[in-house]
């Protein structure tokens, strides 16, 4: 299975600021995703991070709010822009392994004041 790390593990931010979350995988993977888990809720897909091209966003999520980079097959970043308290969530990256299993990182716990 892929080993995934995320930075930061948690942060407390002021409204109006932006936070960039990093996701690092220990092996090259084709498919990488970003999910949001709001307090007490299940996971919702934000976007597919495409290597070398623009991310593909799900309904309700836009690039201006959640810009994503994927410079290579082992790394991606998600930025939460112009944050409000409603953005307080756990943000998780995931990757698809060789056997088509999907593995998740430990998550970044964001609190916006």
Partner 1 sequence: GESVGLHLPTLSVQEGDNSIINCAYSNSASDYFIWYKQESGKGPQFIIDIRSNMDKRQGQRVTVLLNKTVKHLSLQIAATQPGDSAVYFCAENGQAAGNKLTFGGGTRVLVKP
State the CB neighbour count (10 A cutoff) for residue 68.
Answer: 25
Residue nearer to partner 1 on the CB measure, 5 or 82: 5
**63 near 113, Cβ under 8 Å?**
no
Cα–Cα distances (Å) from 89 to 25, 98, 108, in that order, read 22, 29, 8
102: contact with partner 1 by CB under 8 A = yes
**In the complex with partner 1, which residue's Cβ is closer, 1 or 82?**
1
Q: Which residues pair with 92 in a beta bridge?
A: 35
- Least CB distance from residue 58 to partner 1, whole Å? 8
Q: Measured from the CB atom, is 72 or 102 closer to partner 1?
A: 102
Beta bridge partners of 93: 34
Site string for partner 1, 25-44 (x = CB under 8 A): ------x-x-x-x-xxxxxx
User: Are the CB atoms for 90 and 36 separated by under 8 Å?
Assistant: yes
Closest contact distance (angstroms) between CB of 94 and partner 1 is 8
**75 lies in the binding site for partner 1 (CB under 8 A):** no
Angle made by CA atoms 85, 88, 90, in degrees to the nearest 5:
175
Where does this chain bind partner 1 (CB under 8 A)? 1, 4, 31, 33, 35, 37, 39-45, 48, 56, 58, 90, 92, 94, 96, 100-107, 109
């Amino acid at each position: 299975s892929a080993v995934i790390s995320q930075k930061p593990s948690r942060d407390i931010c002021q409204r109006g600021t932006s936070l960039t979350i990093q996701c690092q995988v220990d092996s090259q993977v084709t498919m990488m995703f970003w999910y949001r888990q709001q307090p007490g809720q299940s996971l919702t897909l934000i976007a597919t991070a495409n290597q070398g091209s623009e991310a593909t966003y799900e309904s309700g999520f836009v690039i201006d709010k959640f810009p994503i980079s994927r410079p290579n097959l082992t790394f991606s970043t998600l930025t939460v822009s112009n944050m409000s308290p409603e953005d307080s969530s756990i943000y998780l990256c995931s990757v698809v392994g060789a056997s088509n299993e999907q593995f998740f990182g430990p998550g970044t716990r964001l609190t916006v004041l």
